[in-house]
Structure 1
């Protein structure tokens, strides 16, 4: 590493995580002209886009089309996509910092939160993150486990009333014809078509006014071809909900949508999707696997907290999916406090002091809040701090930026943009064999095989 700055070389910044937060950070860095910057957009997977590819439900076609917008950033001459490289395993944080001038950590918060109740470890209890990984085709998905559980799941309970909970319920309730236009892997379409799901119950610990799902997600349930949405009218009678609705248009719209479902009766031949509120899971029942969820009736106190009434009942369940939030995982060599990296306006803090050349953005910075677009503002704040440090002279080109060659020399197999294009083309071609726009390739070895095949064809 040189001892002095090289004014002829741009500042090289590694962005760890090629999801929305990372891509927005790369865009903010590459699209400004005040400081010459070259960006390495690094991801542990061979594919970019993070939660846009592996988090947004595949039946949300318009939302998933966002990756076409994000792809423009990958094409920028100042941005280099480097996939299939896991920082902390293939290359340590310290090693990466030795090769580049600054690092922006944007690797998200992909861990799931637990319910903390008895029986949660029984077979048949599943985190929403595991089910979402399966139906989006994530390379780390436990395909065999999920498909084994779904094969006997007539009664499904989803715990949580956020958008992910509704995604899970909606995907499980959709007909095969509705799912065919998606880019789901074929084994996922086959597994969902074979699953014997008849009843889905979505449990919310508090009332409908406290639910965090969007009205759009809620109303979408009413347009499913083979499902009936059920809401108990008694869940909509809390006088406090009316006061909240008067203050918050979002609450008012949600309550109006729920009122449209109130009083529906199960329709023969359809999957029933019951939205149940004031229902706190206290125990998962079963011996060898889950058979039901013991639920306590709640009320909502003046502070908006769920308070148990002692009134208990049991909801039958062959499969329980918990969707109660995400949490960040530690990256070896990076501080983590309460699921996020401590920071000051995006500058990573080590022992309370800003660490030179280290920054953070996205969920691992602020926690799992907001929508995809929230990451744009968040990334801009972090990049503004980085550029201010560069302008102040505390950050300058000093690193040895030939880290790709060093990684290959030690046996690494980085996937660059041309390689990702080969994967992209292979998925489109695979979809065409079944009359679909695209079929996601879920297996990591098959993703890399597509890269090798394209390289061999070029050499030939």
Structure 2
């Protein structure tokens, strides 16, 4: 009963219809939270721009992480719920506007992530051979929208790589580039990716952090995986592990930092070995300029020191690192959907506990979860708590009568088909999944990712024409 003692609103004649925009972990966790509760009947349309679900679990986690990528088996179970409908291959803002979408549902939760990379803002960043980690990761995970030609041209003949950033994505990139073809062969990478990586004669990968190891954001599990590569040696300069008092205090109070330091100190005695890739972790260095004329040939870096507030300050000491390829992995930011406010500085949608704010006030029926809500931080599991907070806000609004079914609504999929769109539903996704498994089986793998949108849709159409 509401706090004012008035009777609760009558039960709806139909379930509350909620559209979730983005079928990655945050969106699937939100759909799961909505359908697991029994206070308010809810039916969910889970929309995604791609024909495939799982977002960064499919196109963000490196394919040599089979245990992490197995998370999608867990996520898949949520798609099987009878009140959840996966609707892929629908670009909200293009195939249907937000205003039009709102007419088909009672509420929308935006969970479409933060896909735009942050730039270094230095001279030479536009040179061929300079890539965003978002582009490289999208390429080796088989994202349909990646510029294959640009990425593959950047990898041609590469011997020395510099990865700028010390988060988990930076370590993923370094690890993938340092692996042997034999190590990558069992993964679900597209065949053209395996072929290009096998032909790249990488000899050295350097990971640069502008601050010290105590300020690095990678997790210990991700860090340890660098030491298990078949033909690579991890190298750390012992001088980079000497900590100032502030960093010592951070290490004493943060278990992740202390564990990272223990791993790094264990590698400080390593020496380069003949015929093995040198995988260097270098701290207290920031890029100030990319060198080269027709393509990148090196990186000019400046030695830094961390001040009392944990900020990196330049010392004026410069050096040049040879590099045929520079990959920046310095963060992500969200991009706005037409009609949805996004803060330019943070790259997130203004919100209060998941309620979208327009002009400082909660917008009835609009919610947000995941990276577009809180920024690009945390691992996959953090999205579960985040989605639950947003769903709790939505359910509280429904209980308070702020949000309620407002009469009959037309079916969203019927409307999309009438507009000429080709929505991919759960059975269609199963056809894609089966086609990838069949392709993988031809080479003794569990699966091989289909990377072209047309190949994905061809699998859907082929299944639709088979006798049932």
Match of 1:274 in 2: 280
**C-alpha offsets along residues 366-412 of structure 1, whole Å, 9 cap, x if unaligned?**
10111111111111111111111111112111261412111111111
The residue that corresponds to 1:379 in the other structure is 387
Higher alpha-carbon deviation: 423-432 or 391-400: 391-400
Deviates more, 1:442-451 or 1:227-236: 227-236
Describe the SS at the equivalent of 2:103. Answer: helix
Task: Determine helix, strand or coil for the equivalent of 1:414.
Answer: coil
Q: 1:242 Cα shift?
A: 3.3
Q: Residue in 1 aligned with 2:303? A: 297
Partner of 1:405: 414
Picking from 71, 76, 79, the partner of 1:74 is 79
CA distance in 2, matches of 1:458, 1:40: 28
Give 3-state SS (helix, strand or coil) of 2:262's partner: helix
Structure 2 gap segments, 5+ residues each: 1-9
The CA deviation string for residues 222-251 of structure 1, in whole angstroms up to 9 with x for no partner, is 110010111111111234343332222221
**Structure 1 segment 47-446 matched on structure 2, within 5 A:** 47-240=52-245, 241-337=247-343, 338=345, 339-398=347-406, 400-446=409-455
Return the offset for 1:7.
2.9
Q: Distance in 2 between matches of 1:410 and 1:234?
A: 62
Q: Any idea what SS the aligned residue of 1:99 has? A: coil
Measured after TM superposition, the shift of residue 80 of structure 1 is 0.3
Q: Secondary structure at the match of 1:38?
A: strand
Residues of 2 paired with 1:89 and 1:281: CA distance? 38
Give the Å deviation of 1:6: 9.2
2:5 is aligned to none
Q: Distance in 2 between matches of 1:235 and 1:446?
A: 48
| Greater Cα offset, 257-266 or 91-100 | 257-266
Take 2:98 and 2:342, find their aligned partners in 1: how far apart are those partners? 14
Offset, 1:263:
3.1
SS at match of 2:445: coil
- Contact map agreement 1:12 1:401 (CA 8 A) in 2: no
Q: Distance in 2 between matches of 1:205 and 1:48?
A: 35
Contact 1:12 1:38 (C-alpha < 8 Å) held by counterparts = yes
* 1:141-193 Cα distance to aligned partner (Å, 9 max, x none): 11111111111211100000011000000000011111122111111111111
Whether the 8 Å contact between 1:81 and 1:417 is mirrored in structure 2 is yes
Q: TM-score, normalised by structure 2?
A: 0.96
List gaps (5 residues or longer) in structure 1.
Answer: none
Provide the rounded CA distance (Å) in 2 between the counterparts of 1:424 and 1:444.
14
Separation (CA, whole Å) in 2 of partners of 1:72 and 1:300 = 46
Are 2:34 and 1:34 equivalent residues in the alignment? Answer: no
**Separation of aligned partners in 2, 1:26 and 1:358:** 15
Tell me which residue corresponds to 1:456. 465
With structure 1 as the length reference, what TM-score do the two structures score?
0.97
What's the Cα RMSD here? 1.3
- Distance in structure 1 (CA, Å) of the matches to 2:15 and 2:459: 33
Please give the alpha-carbon distance, in whole angstroms, between the structure 1 residues aligned to 2:122 and 2:304.
16
* Secondary structure, counterpart of 2:166 in structure 1: coil
- Partners of 1:350 and 1:233 lie apart in 2 by 51
Please tell me whether the aligned partners of residues 180 and 189 of structure 1 are also in contact (alpha carbons under 8 angstroms). Answer: yes
> How many residue pairs align between the two structures?
456
**Of 421-430 and 250-259, the range deviating more from structure 2:** 250-259
Deviation at 1:269, TM superposition (A): 1.1
